[in-house]
A and B are shown apart, each in its own frame.
Chain A
Amino acid sequence: MDCEAATRTLDLYLYGELSFDQEQALEDHLASCAACRRHLDELRAIHALLERGRTEPPAGLLERCRSQLHERLQAAAPKRSLWRWFALRPAWAVRLATASALVALGFWVGRWSTPAVTEPPPDPLSARIRFIEQEPGGKVRVSIEERRQRTLRGRLDEEPIQQWLLAAAREAADPGLRLDSVDLLGARAQQEPVRRALLEAAQHDPDPGVRLKALEALKPFAAEADVRQTLARILRSDDNPGVRIQAIDLLIEHRRRDELVGLLQEIVQQESNDYVRLRCRQALQELNASVGTF
């Protein structure tokens, strides 16, 4: 095997897609070719780098998809599933037959006194036609998907409300909604799922206002290890000076000298914003520590 052939098979080697013979030939070549070994190491590093791009769909999305599919399947095949359901439950079939007879009687009586009621046309902005089917007897079946607004009311400690707030804090496209959700969830920050959502928002929300709100909600827990680790990460990587200042303020509230001095000295060396650097210097003075490392 020459270098050109080896180059074309290195990826397949890493993915385990080579035959035994091909693998053997490549390994023989690698044993004697430093350039191809370097190339392989480089590819391994690229694979490792790209691993960080591995993602999962947002939490709850799979369940929402399944539930929506269930509804659509039922809409798509109502007759079949209904007959099958009744075939398995004959007692219900009798009950339904009785009820249907009563409804039919009522309808027949009603026809004498009231005009036929027509379904209002769908709003084209909120409705979407899924399919149209011609049925025996000259009828047409139109299946429409409509988006409906729902309103939920409940206390913050009630499960459905909290779940929606958590979802909104993570997924809402509108930063205002995320801000309100984070603000409300702040009152429940002692609960694990809420804490996770707040830590996540504090680090990764695209809007600095939401990140600051999440930090504010985490303030009572600034002594706890997971929060302090997050604060240190924010201080090192957040691109907003206001958020970095807030992280310093929360960290310094609990004067853990051993933990803070090295971090603050590191920030003083690296920080590009004058005010953040100044705040770090002040914090170091409050801790009776020097600004530089010696």
Chain B
Amino acid sequence: MTPEPDAAPATEVGGVSREQAELIRAAQRGDQEAFERLVRGHDRGVLRLAWNMLRSVEDAQEVYQETFLRAYRNLSSFRADSNFQTWLYRIAWNLCLDYLRKRKTSREEQAGGDSGDGFRSPLETVAEQRPEADPERVLVNRVAAERIRQALERLTPRERMVFELRHFQGLRLKTIGEIAGSSEEAVKTCLFRATQKLRAALGDLI
């Protein structure tokens, strides 16, 4: 299964299509319609990121709104030679990390907190989201689902974000580095640590 591509620029100029560059200029002049057209080229990926990281409709909605409202307010500072998608993902990345940190703190505050925090693993919810998918392919059994949920939860927020963007969204490590404000090497190390942990946790399931 390949990730659905977001914006599909026809002619690239410095990482931004001509059409996108025009929309950015129009949006910077205050054209809300142009901004919303820009949003539609990238918002599916941003929502998918927020949803997969936070697993809460309310939180994912909040991250979506906050990402694009911040982008709208700060559009004048966006440089035309930058990559718009990377810029948006950077905002969403920081917001998701904030939410995950807050959630971690609140869990730690709840002594003996268990899984009753509303968080549901991908496998617990996947078939509900994609009724058209073959459930046997999606959901092998509940034991495996629980194991995968635990394995993903044990990753650090940064490891989960890097894994999500590389594995599920198919972004290049170089781009993920730009989003995370890290070097490509640091992202490679982070991904390596994430997959090592997943392998150690799930190795006996394969």
- Minimum CB–CB distance for A218 against chain B, Å: 14
B128 in contact with A200 (CB, 8 Å): yes
Size of interface on B: residues with Cβ below 8 Å to A: 60
Chain B 130-169 interface 0/1 with A at a Cβ cutoff of 8 Å (1 = within): 1110011111111010001000100000000000001110
A237 in contact with B141 (CB, 8 Å): yes
B60 in contact with A57 (CB, 8 Å): yes
A204 in contact with B36 (CB, 8 Å): no
What is the number of contacts between chain A and chain B, taking CB atoms within 8 Å?
145
The listed residue (A11, A73, A80) touching B192 by CB distance below 8 A is A11
Bound complex: CA A56 to CA B32 (Å): 28
**Residue A146 at the B interface, CB < 8 A?**
no
B51 in contact with A55 (CB, 8 Å): yes
Main secondary structure of the interface of A (DSSP, over half): helix
Chain B residues whose CB sits within 8 angstroms of the CB of A61 once the complex forms: 47, 51, 57, 60-61
Chain B 63-106 interface 0/1 with A at a Cβ cutoff of 8 Å (1 = within): 01100110011000000000000000000000000000000000
**Residue A49 at the B interface, CB < 8 A?**
yes
Chain A residues whose CB sits within 8 angstroms of the CB of B36 once the complex forms: 66, 69-70, 73
- Minimum CB–CB distance for B152 against chain A, Å: 7
The winner among A15, A59, A80 for most chain B CB atoms within 10 A is: A15
**Residue A89 at the B interface, CB < 8 A?**
no
Closest to A170 in B: B128
Bound complex: CA A40 to CA B57 (Å): 36
The listed residue (A8, A53, A77, A171) touching B122 by CB distance below 8 A is A53
The listed residue (B48, B64, B173) touching A17 by CB distance below 8 A is B173
**Residue B39 at the A interface, CB < 8 A?**
yes
A55-B52, A58-B57, A73-B32 given as contacts; is B129 within 8 A of A49 (CB)? no
Chain B 26-69 interface 0/1 with A at a Cβ cutoff of 8 Å (1 = within): 00001110011001100110011001100001001100110011
Chain A 241-262 interface 0/1 with B at a Cβ cutoff of 8 Å (1 = within): 0000000000000000000000
Closest to B64 in A: A65
* Cβ < 8 Å to B, chain A residues 41-89: 42-43, 45-47, 49-59, 61-62, 64-66, 68-70, 72-74, 76-77, 80-81, 84
A57 in contact with B51 (CB, 8 Å): yes
Chain B residues whose CB sits within 8 angstroms of the CB of A103 once the complex forms: none
A52 in contact with B192 (CB, 8 Å): no
Size of interface on A: residues with Cβ below 8 Å to B: 48
Main secondary structure of the interface of B (DSSP, over half): helix
A42 in contact with B72 (CB, 8 Å): no
- Minimum CB–CB distance for B24 against chain A, Å: 15
A65 in contact with B61 (CB, 8 Å): yes
A57-B48, A69-B64, A69-B65 given as contacts; is B128 within 8 A of A52 (CB)? no
**Residue B107 at the A interface, CB < 8 A?**
no
B61 in contact with A54 (CB, 8 Å): no
The listed residue (A11, A45, A50, A72) touching B148 by CB distance below 8 A is A50
**Residue B127 at the A interface, CB < 8 A?**
yes
Bound complex: CA A61 to CA B57 (Å): 8
Bound complex: CA A58 to CA B47 (Å): 10
**Residue A239 at the B interface, CB < 8 A?**
yes
**Residue B113 at the A interface, CB < 8 A?**
no
Closest to A200 in B: B131
Chain B residues whose CB sits within 8 angstroms of the CB of A43 once the complex forms: 195, 199
- Minimum CB–CB distance for A37 against chain B, Å: 15
A52-B139, A52-B140 given as contacts; is B129 within 8 A of A58 (CB)? yes
A46-B199, A61-B47 given as contacts; is B40 within 8 A of A77 (CB)? no
Chain A residues whose CB sits within 8 angstroms of the CB of B40 once the complex forms: 66
Q: A12-B188, A46-B195, A237-B142 are in contact. List 6 more A-B contacts (CB 8 A).
A: A17-B188, A52-B122, A55-B130, A58-B51, A61-B57, A203-B127
Residues of A within 8 A of B (CB): 8, 11-12, 15, 17, 42-43, 45-47, 49-59, 61-62, 64-66, 68-70, 72-74, 76-77, 80-81, 84, 170-171, 196-197, 199-200, 203-204, 233, 237, 239
Ordered by A's residue number, 11 sampled pairs between the chains whose C-beta atoms are within 8 Å are: A43-B195, A43-B199, A53-B121, A54-B1, A55-B52, A55-B126, A56-B130, A59-B129, A69-B64, A81-B30, A196-B132
Residues of B within 8 A of A (CB): 1, 30-32, 35-36, 39-40, 43-44, 47-48, 51-52, 57, 60-61, 64-65, 68-69, 72-73, 121-123, 125-132, 135-142, 144, 148, 152, 166-168, 172-173, 188, 191-192, 195, 198-199, 202-203, 205-206
Q: Which 7 pairs between the two chains have the least Cβ-Cβ distance? A: A53-B122, A45-B206, A57-B51, A80-B30, A65-B64, A200-B131, A55-B126
